[in-house]
Amino acid sequence: MKFLLFSPGETLFEMIEFEKIGNIPLESTILQNLVGNYKFPRNKISALEKRGEIIRLKKGLYVVSEKNSRKSVSRELLANHLYGPSYISLETALSFYGMIPERVFAVRSMTFKRAKSFETSLGNFDYKTVSLDYFGIGLRQEIIENQYAFLIATPTKTVCDMIVATPNLRLQSVRALQTYLLEDLRIDLDVVKNFDKKIVEQCIKVGKKKGELELLLRLLEYDSTHKLTQKNKIYASKPP
């Protein structure tokens, strides 16, 4: 289905296939090409925004409204486009994977650029800085209904990111790490036991908080031997 960009009273008007664009963010230069040979294409884009046909995310970046795209806006996809290179992580990824019970409101990501935050009509977006070497470890592309994809940390990398990005987090033992995972993050140890040890090892080599990450590796190594589960958690089982 196509939608008119402008009212029939205008001398010239173009048609954009909003449904084909879907929920993929668009730069203003692409929008200017889509509106056609208008003398002042920026004015036409402003008119679209005022009528709610498109939503401005930041200067030069827009997304088609849900009523016109007929697709739900993906805040994870928006986050990848809003500031990057970046990937979804921290509480947002924990919630996406169903690892924590809480609903997360701000979309949190990692980047190797400087830390930054955005407030938009579609939500708040927060970006934390990591080194370039650390950035590329443990990422995956999440494909949604074969229509769009976004970059997100694996569950293992997400927990590594939580450890690295949490200010003043100092863990002195595996038992303290278990308490952090179970009581602070509220992550089920049945999920943790499936973590990828190689990703943790790579993060230890290039990331911050090596001591805390080494505790996570020790926990995974202990679990592979003792089959640690939620039932025999820290109160019944005490890794060295």
Domain's final residue, options 26, 48, 69: 69
CA angle at 166 for the pair 205 and 114, rounded to the nearest 5°: 75
Pair (52, 142) in one structural domain:
no
Residue identified by tokens 């679990």 is 223
Q: Are residues 141 and 212 in the same domain?
A: yes
Of residues 46 and 128, more confidence is placed in: 128
Neighbouring C-beta atoms of residue 80, cutoff 10 Å: 21
Residue 127 belongs to some domain of the structure: yes
Q: Which domain does 30 fall in, by range?
A: 3-69
Same domain, 41 and 122: no
Would you give the distance in Å from CA 16 to the centre of its chain?
A: 29
Number of compact structural domains in the chain: 2
Q: With respect to residue 44, please indicate whether it lies within any of the assigned structural domains.
A: yes
Q: How confident is the model at residue 236 (pLDDT cuts 50, 70, 90)?
A: very low
pTM here?
A: 0.84
Per residue in 192-218, pLDDT (tens digit) is: 989 999 999 999 999 899 999 999 999
pLDDT 10s digits, 17-62: 667 778 889 898 888 777 666 667 778 788 888 888 889 999 999 9
* Boundary-marking domain end, from 30, 50, 69: 69
Q: Are 18 and 69 in contact (CB under 8 A)?
A: yes
DSSP of 56-118 = EEETTEEEE-HHHH-S---HHHHHHHHSSSEEE-HHHHHHHTT-SSS---SEEEEESS--EEE
Domain-embedded: residue 60: yes
Same domain, 84 and 195: yes
Residue 228 has pLDDT above 80, yes or no: no
Question: Does residue 59 share a domain with residue 82?
Answer: no
